[in-house]
Amino acid sequence: MLTQVAGGATAPPFLSRAEPLGATRHDEDFTMARACIFPGQGSQAVGMGRALAEHFHQARDVFAEVDEALGQPLSRLMFEGPVEELTLTANAQPALMAASLATLRVLEAERGLDLKRDVACVAGHSLGEYTALCAAGTFSIADAARLLRIRGTAMQDAVAPGAGAMAALIGADAETAQAIAAEAAEGAVCEVANDNGGGQVVLSGDKAAVERAVALAPGRGIKRAVLLNVSAPFHCSLMAPAAARMQRALVEVAMHSPVVPVYANVLAAPLTDPVAIREALVAQVTGTVRWRDCVAAMAAAGIDQFTEIGTGKVLTGLVKRIAAGASASAVGTPDDIAAFPAFG
């Protein structure tokens, strides 16, 4: 969950398969220092992708493919709303993916961008990780759309309406947020869902426990704590039924090695092995989105240009606060594409 107001455990079995950046690339390729990043839920807005569709057939082709895969005119909902329907998790997730992939296809056609040649790695925030994998060739656009529809529906259905909550802690670090969550839990679920960086940490869990965390926060030096207007408590252990559903869905989908490494949210490390990627996606449903660590790890590996592709500029702002000295920009409109450097 993106907001503009996001010890002692056994390591996941796929942790040992996280690869150093460049494990599948030649050394000379790493004169490149660009990462493409893809936004998560919260960046959606009525009108998203409309200008691209009006100007570029490549964008129209992506939207048509997603509409066909879902058996729904999702693009019309993206362009015209209503916002209440677009914001539904089952719609917002594939919509954001579609807008990002439409932008990427136009960049490829108009500016000569070649992901394998011009980009060192990719990453995405929560659902944006599926977008990143689709961009890198692991999933087809149709499969990514169907997976995100399943994911959104499964996450919405995992917890009874009103039983869970999420809260943003502004001016918090992950360690303090974790301590607040542990104190507030009192036998219920209250966990760190997103470590977004820039002093943004999001908690998720049982409603009463999250409300206790909000009440505790001012006394722990947190600048502001606010309950979020969300439909379910994402990225916490209450999402276990959704994780099980995604495990079944992912097994049924063809997955290919990405053309560039993809940073996994739950590991903050690059992966190229489809088996490890599948396991990381399942773990992500109940695990913490470690966006701050992902950006820091990419910067430590030499990335100094971050390009956010799709709707909004939330990740661009977070990168600027996490990776001092790195440049960050967002591309999502025809004007942005015209200003983007030409490749090739």
Beta bridge partners of residue 124, listed in sequence order: 38
C-beta of residue 113 within 8 angstroms of C-beta of residue 338: no
Average pLDDT over residues 174-195: 98
126 belongs to the catalytic site? yes
Tokens at 287, concatenated: 């695990």
Q: Which of 43, 75, 125, 235 is catalytic?
A: 235
Region(s) of the chain under CATH 3.30.70.250:
164-227
Average pLDDT over residues 303-332: 96
- Tens digits of per-residue pLDDT, 18-65? 554 443 333 334 445 999 999 999 899 999 999 999 999 999 999 999
Q: Which of 43, 75, 126, 204 is catalytic?
A: 126
Q: In this predicted structure, which of 6-20, 175-189, 227-241, 280-294 has the lowest mean pLDDT?
A: 6-20
Give the pLDDT of residue 1.
62
Does position 270 have pLDDT exceeding 90, yes or no? yes
Give the pLDDT of residue 12.
37
In the CATH scheme, what is the code of domain 164-227?
3.30.70.250
Which pLDDT band holds residue 344 (cuts at 50, 70, 90)?
confident
Does position 16 have pLDDT exceeding 70, yes or no? no
SS3 289: strand
From 324, 340, 284, select the one nearest 36 (Cα to Cα).
Answer: 340
Burial level of 83, CB count in 10 A (0-12/13-18/19+)? exposed
Please report how many Cα atoms fall inside a 13 Å half-sphere around the Cα of residue 301, on the Cβ side: 28
Does position 83 have pLDDT exceeding 50, yes or no? yes
Which pLDDT band holds residue 231 (cuts at 50, 70, 90)?
confident
Exposed e or buried b for every residue in 228-252, given b needs 16+ CB within 10 A? bebbbbbbbebbeebbebbeebbee
C-beta of residue 269 within 8 angstroms of C-beta of residue 279: no
Tokens at 1, concatenated: 């969950």
Which pLDDT band holds residue 243 (cuts at 50, 70, 90)?
very high
Give the pLDDT of residue 2.
57
Which pLDDT band holds residue 9 (cuts at 50, 70, 90)?
very low
Mean pLDDT (the chain) is 92
Please report how many Cα atoms fall inside a 13 Å half-sphere around the Cα of residue 224, on the Cβ side: 10
Chain-centroid distance of CA 70 in Å reads 20
C-beta of residue 299 within 8 angstroms of C-beta of residue 323: yes
Enumerate long-range contacts of 216-219, CB under 8 Å, 24 or more apart.
Answer: 216/180, 216/183, 216/184, 217/169, 217/172, 217/180
Burial level of 194, CB count in 10 A (0-12/13-18/19+)? buried
Taking only Cα atoms into account, the Rg of the chain, rounded to an integer number of angstroms, comes to: 19
Give the pLDDT of residue 17.
46
Percent of the chain's residues with pLDDT above 90? 88
Give the pLDDT of residue 15.
39
Beta bridge partners of residue 191, listed in sequence order: 204
Does position 163 have pLDDT exceeding 50, yes or no? yes
Average pLDDT over residues 81-98: 96
C-beta of residue 240 within 8 angstroms of C-beta of residue 158: yes
CA dist., res. 193 & res. 233, Å (int): 9
- Listing DSSP states for 196-262 in one string gives EETTEEEEEEEHHHHHHHHHHGGGGT-SEEEE---SS--SSGGGHHHHHHHHHHHHTS-----SS-E
Give the pLDDT of residue 8.
31
235 belongs to the catalytic site? yes
Q: In this predicted structure, which of 1-10, 133-142, 263-272 has the lowest mean pLDDT?
A: 1-10
Give the pLDDT of residue 90.
95
Chain-centroid distance of CA 273 in Å reads 19
Does position 235 have pLDDT exceeding 50, yes or no? yes
pTM over 0.75: yes
CA dist., res. 98 & res. 148, Å (int): 11
Where is pLDDT greater, at 8 or 164?
A: 164
CA dist., res. 17 & res. 258, Å (int): 15
Average pLDDT over residues 252-256: 97
Average pLDDT over residues 275-290: 98
Region(s) of the chain under CATH 3.40.366.10:
21-158+237-339
Beta bridge partners of residue 105, listed in sequence order: none
Where is pLDDT greater, at 343 or 137?
A: 137
CB within 8 A of 270, min separation 6: which ones? 18, 19, 20, 21, 23, 121, 261, 262, 263, 264, 301
Q: Which fold has domain 21-158+237-339?
A: Malonyl-Coenzyme A Acyl Carrier Protein; domain 2 (3.40.366)
- Tens digits of per-residue pLDDT, 193-222? 999 999 999 999 999 999 999 999 999 999
